[in-house]
Structure 1
Amino acid sequence: MKLWDLQGRELASFPTHLAPVSAISFRPDGKAIATASRDGTAQVWSLQGRKVLTLKGHQGWVMYVTFSRDGKAIATASRDKTAKLWNLQGQELLTLRGHEDAVTGIGFSGDGQTIATSSTDRTVRLWNRQGDRLQVLQGHTDAVAALHLGPDNRLLASGGEDRSIRLWSLDGLMGAQASVSQPATGVMTWYDALGKEAIWGVSFSPDSKSIGTTGRYTLAKLWTSTGRELLTLQGHMDTVRSLQFSPDGKRILTASKDKTIKLWNLNGKLLRTLRGHRADVRSATFSPDGKTIASASWDTTAKLWNLDGQELVTLRGHQAGLRSIQFSPDGQAIATTSEDGTAKLWDRQGKALATLRGHQGGVLALSFSPDGQVIATTSADKTIKLWNRQGKELKTLKGHAAEVNAASFSPNGQILATACEAAYIYLWSRDGELLQVLGGHPAGIRSLSFSPDGQTLASSDASGNVVLWRLDLQSNLDALLEQGCKWVGDYLNNSTDVKQSDRHLCDSFVINP
């Protein structure tokens, strides 16, 4: 080991481990140094090179070592898939188990009460000082090689072999038992314990306190916003395709591959079963006043029903199975999408008002803007199209690398979120400008839903994950870029790895400390 002053002068040199040293860390008071080694140990040294302590207990290389911020504890991370805490006398305090591969890094929060670990299993995990796992941060697509917890307990940075650096917002997430994922925006993820089943649909209740999900099984579920399961709706005989809350939040509507629609109360009691479709019912929704139900089926028809289950009208005109259905915000029009490559607008009497033509593949989903003047459609052709109420195409949005499965306007109408089979969410302005890309899902995203206050976006994927993204929808593209420049400003200015020409990338932004 060599010690140097800031002018580059060598102060001391002394031998340490008999195998390569993988990490080194100063004690916060600067009076001792800890080293980690491939010999399976960590050691503590005085500044004069005297060995103070040897920490033995790992069954593989020690990949990283660090002191707690108060200097009273030492943490080690090992290739044996564990991390350990030690006191300054070399006594092992606890072992953190749960990673599925080598633990590459470890760090303490500013208050010392939370520990973060990174691993080649592609996750970052949060623990309390008693060794209980608090969170699993998922999003990296390859080994996580490094991490750093901010001193204010609010941010964690991780770097991975997927060539990405991710910033995770830890606000409110250090105490809940849930699994969390966040690339640059606050995110919470949970996983349905029924198994690796696709979650086809996700929907917020009107008060934002509950979230409904449907998947590749015969159940629908209600959850809290922290991922605690509240209720299971059981009664369908095949895959449940969609779930919607009534506008007053007192009833729930589910549509199923078993050709039926079911109406439930919030206690999970089945109120009514609507029968009449001859094939898979892909989507069902309430009218804005909550008095009418609309359903879309693979039998090429859509139907309107009253709350007693009486069929009011059948909408006919599509040439292939229907994918989705939605009322306009004023309740006067109904929009449907179909595998025939079109979307259609209808009145409440079943008359076709307009046919939206232009996609080169099946139209998979749609969303009305809150003012009802713009309709967004998504397609297997990897595009999104914006239309007016007369069926005129306004714009085509391109960028997704796979079929676009879902779309949702924010409640204020200023943001359009779209999601695709390539596992990315795109946020667009109402004018079609790309604002942000959210990554982190491990599989194709099937559904999107904004919370009524517009601050949270829920997404679900084909691996059974639900992700809650906390969004700052007041930010425009310049604001997002300015935020990014704040994060990387020091690196651009000071790193020897940055080209001189790149040091000025953020010069156009005035960065306020």
Structure 2
Amino acid sequence: MKPSWRGLLLSSSIALLLMGVTVGGSIPGARSQTDPAPPVNAPTPRNRRTFIPVNTLTGHLGGVNAIAFSPDGTRLASGSSDRTIKLWNWENAQLDNTLSGHSGDVNSVSFSPDGELLASGSDDKTVKLWDVPTGQLVGTRLGHSFSVQSVAFSPDGESVASASSDKTIKIWNVNTTEEQENLKRHSSYIWAIAYSPDGEKLASGGYDNEVHVGNLTGSWFWFIGGGYDTFKGHSAPVLSVAYSPDGSKIASGSADGTIKIWDVDDQKLLSTLTGHRDWVLSVAFSPDGESLVSGSADRTIKVWNVASGSLETTLTKHQGKVFAVAFSPDGKTLASGSADNTIQIWQAYP
């Protein structure tokens, strides 16, 4: 079995040269004495968010590779190198259940839109579906020939997409074992996938340094090499991708140490966020779309203003690489998973 990039990262001592220049003009809101006053209906810049650590969830015996909040915000799922998935009542720092069944590292977890099912992807080459209330395994999807690096439920809950080191993306029917699509979009390993909020597009990031965005209508074109847009600009593998809540932007985090924000429709690079000293392993938009958080192998979490591309704050609680970050649905809580085997819960203000 080909080792996952998380394992390679943990054992690697190679320092990457960070590259990237902020793109775009001056920071919105900064104007000289001679600049015209903004229009009356211009949005008022919000205050910077402050994040306070309020809880640490412990129990995993290996690094926490993936985290996801349930749609109602009451549960948090975590996937680990200890081959288990844990379901938490995060507000009380209480472990509700441990899901066992994978024979390899769990690299990704995703809740169904109704919160009743959880999908997981693993180094054991499988995608598993779990019943959240009972913790029972309800199905295993076989078909990938190498590690499953990322899984994502479609917004309608009918399908699960999985991305693998075998260079393919598969789309599975939730109610059957049917493989609906086998998409060959990247020339190398695929690390991350994300559905657009309307479910019509699927974004992916890979070892070929590219972000691909394809329309799921007529997706059979992908098999013959067409039907998707390619976003180029990173100088190293793309390890994470995320859609903004309105679907207009994609953020990509890379082993080149940068985050790039792209305009989906215009296929244009909007900004490059620099500041991390190592691989950017995870990115997530806040539910209001105003902030972006990033987790890095440099052990920090950074919070960015999406409109200006400016760094708002750096969070330094973890003692290991930060593999995963996620906002609660109401945007008031941030969770982060790390190679230090812990999940940190942060309260966001305002």
1:309 paired residue among 177, 183, 199: 177
Letter in 1 for 2:107: R
Q: Match of 1:242? A: 108
**Which structure shows the higher strand fraction?**
1
Q: How many residues of Structure 1 are paired with residues of Structure 2 in the alignment?
A: 289
Match in the other structure for 1:186 = 52
**Alignment partner of 2:250 out of 364, 375, 379:** 375
Q: Which residue of 1 aligns with 2:122?
A: 256
Give 1:365's match in structure 2, choosing from 240, 252, 266. Answer: 240
* TM value normalised by structure 1: 0.55
Determine if the alignment matches structure 1 residue 402 to structure 2 residue 285.
no
Change (3 A) 1:398 1:194: closer
Which of 78, 87, 111 aligns to 1:213? It is 78
Q: Report the equivalent of 1:199.
A: 64
Indicate how the Cα distance of structure 1 residues 194 and 468 shifts in structure 2: closer, same or farther if over 3 A, else same.
closer
For 2:333 and 2:162, locate their aligned partners in 1 and report how far apart those are by CA, in whole Å: 27
Distance 1:214 1:194 in 2: 9
CA RMSD, aligned part only? Answer: 1.2
Q: Tell me if 1:265 matches 2:131.
A: yes
Gaps of 5+ in 1: 1-183, 475-513
- Residue number in structure 1 paired with 2:314: 437
Residue of structure 1 equivalent to 2:155: 288
Q: Would the aligned equivalents of 1:191 and 1:464 in 2 still touch at CA under 8 Å?
A: no
Question: Would you say the 8 A contact 1:370–1:409 is kept in 2?
Answer: yes
Residues 111-159 of structure 1: CA deviation (Å, up to 9, x unaligned):
xxxxxxxxxxxxxxxxxxxxxxxxxxxxxxxxxxxxxxxxxxxxxxxxx
Q: 1:231 aligns with which of 90, 93, 97?
A: 97
Give the C-alpha shift of residue 192 in structure 1. 3.0
The alignment partner of 1:185 has SS state of strand
Kindly indicate whether the alpha-carbon contact (under 8 Å) linking 2:60 and 2:80 is maintained by their aligned counterparts in 1.
no
Q: Which amino acid aligns with 1:380?
A: A
Q: Whole-Å Cα distance in 2 between the matches of residues 263 and 185 of structure 1?
A: 33
1:457-512: CA deviation from partner (whole Å, max 9, x where unpaired): 0001101110111112x4xxxxxxxxxxxxxxxxxxxxxxxxxxxxxxxxxxxxxx
Q: Is the CA contact (8 Å cut-off) linking 2:125 and 2:146 kept in structure 1?
A: yes
Q: Is the 8 A contact 2:79 2:86 kept in 1?
A: yes
Determine which of 203, 206, 219 is the counterpart of 1:338: 206
Give per-residue Cα distances to partners, 1:166-198, cap 9 Å, x unaligned. Answer: xxxxxxxxxxxxxxxxxx732134353343x21
Deviation at 1:335, TM superposition (A): 0.5
Q: Give 1:389's aligned residue.
A: 264
Q: What is the percentage of aligned positions where both structures have the same residue?
A: 36
The one-letter code matched in structure 2 to 1:443 is G
**Structure-2 separation of matches of 1:314 and 1:214:** 25
Unpaired runs of at least 5, structure 2: 1-49
> TM-score, normalized by length of structure 2?
0.80
Shift of 1:371: 0.4
- Identify which range, 371-380 or 240-249, moves more after superposition: 240-249
| 1:5-63 deviations in Å (ceiling 9; x for gaps) | xxxxxxxxxxxxxxxxxxxxxxxxxxxxxxxxxxxxxxxxxxxxxxxxxxxxxxxxxxx
What residue number does 1:49 align with? none
1:348-382 Cα distance to aligned partner (Å, 9 max, x none): 12433201111010000011000000000000000
Q: What's the counterpart of residue 324 of structure 2?
A: 447
| CA displacement at 1:293 relative to structure 2 | 0.8
Shift of 1:439: 1.3
Counterpart Cα distance in 1 of 2:106 and 2:348: 29
How many Å separate the matches in 2 of 1:263 and 1:446?
Answer: 22
Q: Secondary structure at the match of 2:241?
A: strand
Q: Please tell me the residue identity of whatever aligns with 1:223.
A: W
Contact 1:187 1:468 in 2 (8 A): yes
Q: Is the CA contact (8 Å cut-off) linking 1:426 and 1:436 kept in structure 2?
A: yes
Looking at structure 2, the residues matched to 366 and 460 of structure 1 have their Cα atoms a distance apart, in angstroms, of: 17
Relative contact order, CA 8 A, sep 6+: which one is greater? 2
Secondary structure at the aligned position of 1:207 is classed as coil
In structure 2, the partner of 1:418 is 294
Residue-by-residue CA offset, 1:197-220 (whole Å, 9 max, x unaligned): 210011111111111111112211
